[in-house]
Amino acid sequence: MAYELICTETGETQAICSSGTGVDPQDKSVGKALTYAHKYALIETFMLEIGDDPDATHSQEYEKSNGTNKKRNF
């Protein structure tokens, strides 16, 4: 993804590039990749402290630890 930040006062611009990946057995992988690219572009550009990263735990591990590991039919 390519982003362009624009200062509304001076017109100065800054290009930012970011990438993201998403794996999903259904049709959500592209949306996940775009979300991750946007999220990490903002975090890195503005040096935001996010604390514990909820994305660090795989969703299957999260479900197992919460006892919600049930098969879903969509």
Q: How far apart are CA 26 and CA 55, in angstroms?
A: 19
> Is residue 74 scored above 50 in pLDDT?
no
Q: How does residue 21 score in pLDDT terms, banded at 50, 70 and 90?
A: confident
> Is residue 60 scored above 50 in pLDDT?
yes
> Is residue 24 scored above 60 in pLDDT?
yes
- Left (φ > 0), alpha (ψ -120 to 50) or beta: where does 26 sit? beta
The predicted-structure confidence for 29-38, as pLDDT tens digits, reads as follows 999 899 999 9
Q: What is the pTM assigned to this prediction? A: 0.61
